[in-house]
Structure formats: C-alpha cells, structure tokens
C-alpha cells in the first residue's frame, strides 16, 4: 500500500475547469463573498437587520467556500492510498461501483444538479479503496459544473490514479435549473458518459457496464 497525494497538475483533465488562481485565504474569501452577498440581498429588497436574515450573507459565503464549492481548491483533493491488486491473476475482471450519489451545481444558474455516478474499471496492478472513488466524485462535484465536464474530470483523474486504460464513468443527473425555472420540467434527467480502452471498444463489456 502506498499513499498518493496528487500534485496540482494531476487534477487537471482533458476537460479543464476555467479556473483562475488567486492568493486569498479561505477567511478572506468568506469575508469578501459575505460583503457582496449582503449587497445582493439588500438590492433584492430584504431587510438585513432582521434577526433571521442578519447572518445569511456570511452563511452563504461559508457554505460556498467550505462546503458546496470546496472542490475549487486543489488542497481539498482527497488523500488516497493505492493498494496492490489482491487478485492480479484474474486479469480482465471488471470492478464496478454503482449509484454514487452527488450534489453539484450548474455553473450557468448556480442551482443544484443532483445525481448518481457509476464507475467501472479493469485493474492494471493497483486498486484504490471504494470509498475513495466516492470522494473523488464528490470533490469534482463540489464546483460550479457542467455535467459533461464533471464526467470527464472523474474519468480522467481515475484513469491516471489507477493507471489503467480501461475505465468507464456514467452520470445521470437532474438539473434544478430545468425543474424550477425556464421550462419547469421536474421530471427529466440528463445522462452523460466517458469510456476508454476496452470499456469503449468491447461491446460485451460496454453492455455489462450499462446494464
Ligand atoms: Zn443551469
């Protein structure tokens, strides 16, 4: 077993996030966002001297920085331990993790995009704990996102971490910007996937993954 702390560049993928680095600490980010949020609420006509609203700007700022958008900060990438494959003689076997729940946010409207991810891969000498795959999904979900980008970021980072060419990620998510505004369809969901290696080229493996 070996510990793996990814370098900054390791979280970059073929579908990169439009990120800008700034040198603000979390405390500075929270203070500045809270001040801007107070203006937004004020402009909307809310009375911030009201007990219930008083702390809302700071609450939103903390939630953005420490929780729902914490995946924008590379220092929050999960610590991972790689394990030697315990069954290397079983070459070609598929490891599948289904129904990983996540909550992300659409970057166009900043409202939730809630769904599940399925991951499958063929080990190439090493594996990681299954809960670590959930953590990687959540890390990339905790950003303002596009579903296609989220799918590729999970796929590309797992492919690199696991050192395998044979990997598949599929995501089905409900976009609340479609449910609560615009067309107001609260029934539809969106499916995206990223496949590589034998999971892309072998029809039997593909069928096994998608069934
Ligand atoms: Zn949206």
pLDDT interval class at 53 (50, 70, 90): very high
Per the model's pLDDT, the better-predicted residue between 181 and 47 turns out to be 47
pLDDT at residue 6 is higher than 80: no
- Please list the active-site residues: 106-109, 147, 175, 177
Interval between CA 123 and ligand 1 midpoint (Å): 36
Q: Taking the CB of residue 112, how many other CB atoms lie within 10 A of it?
A: 18
> 3.30.70.100, 3.40.50.20, 3.30.1130.10, 2.30.29.30: which CATH number matches 85-210?
3.30.1130.10
- As a whole number, the mean pLDDT across the chain is 91
Q: Is the pLDDT of residue 8 over 50?
A: no
Please answer whether residues 144 and 128 qualify as being in contact, where contact means their C-beta atoms are separated by less than 8 angstroms. Answer: no
**pLDDT tops 70 at residue 1:** no
Between 182 and 208, residue with greater pLDDT: 208
Q: What does pTM read for this prediction?
A: 0.91
Higher local confidence (pLDDT), 8 or 158: 158
The CATH homologous superfamily for domain 26-68 is GTP cyclohydrolase I, N-terminal domain (1.10.286.10)
Domain(s) of CATH 3.30.1130.10: residues in the chain: 85-210
**Distance from Cα 146 to the centre of ligand 1, integer Å:** 9
CATH 1.10.286.10 in the chain is located at 26-68
The tens digit of pLDDT for each residue in 162-178 reads 999 999 999 999 999 98
Distance 181 CA to ligand 1 centre (A): 9
B/e letters for 62-76, b = 16+ CB within 10 Å, e = fewer, are bebbeebbbbbbbee
Residue 2 has pLDDT above 70, yes or no: no
List residues, by chain if needed, whose CB lies under 5 Å from ion ligand 1.
Answer: 106, 108-109, 177
Strand partners, 168: 120, 195
Q: Among 55-59, 72-76, 177-181, 195-199, which stretch is predicted with the lowest mean pLDDT?
A: 177-181
pLDDT-derived band at 4 (thresholds 50, 70, 90) equals low
- What average pLDDT does range 31-45 have in this prediction? 98
Report the 3 state secondary structure along 56-114: HHHHHHHHHHHHHCHHHCHHHCCCEEEEECCCCCCCCCCEEEEEEEEEEEECCCCCEEE
pLDDT for position 37: 98
* Residue 12 pLDDT class (50, 70, 90 cuts): low
């Amino acid at each position: 077993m070996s510990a793996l702390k990814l370098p900054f560049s390791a979280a970059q993928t073929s579908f990169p996030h439009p990120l800008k680095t700034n040198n603000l600490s979390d405390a500075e980010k929270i203070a500045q966002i809270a001040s801007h949020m107070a203006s937004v609420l004020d402009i909307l006509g809310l009375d911030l001297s009201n007990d219930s609203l008083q702390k809302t700007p700071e609450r939103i700022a903390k939630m953005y920085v420490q929780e729902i958008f914490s995946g924008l900060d590379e220092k929050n990438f999960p610590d991972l331990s790689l394990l030697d494959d315990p069954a290397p003689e079983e070459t070609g076997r598929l490891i599948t993790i289904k129904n990983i729940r996540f909550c992300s946010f659409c970057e166009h409207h900043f409202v939730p995009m809630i769904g599940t991810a399925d991951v499958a891969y063929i080990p190439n000498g090493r594996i990681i704990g299954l809960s670590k795959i959930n953590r990687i999904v959540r890390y990339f979900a905790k950003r303002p996102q596009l579903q296609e980008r989220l799918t590729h970021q999970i796929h590309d980072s797992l492919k690199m971490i696991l050192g395998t060419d044979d990997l598949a990620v599929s995501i089905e998510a409900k976009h609340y910007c479609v449910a609560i505004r615009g067309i107001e369809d609260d029934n539809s969901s969106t499916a995206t996937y990223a496949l590589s290696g034998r999971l892309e080229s072998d029809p039997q493996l593909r069928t096994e993954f998608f069934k």
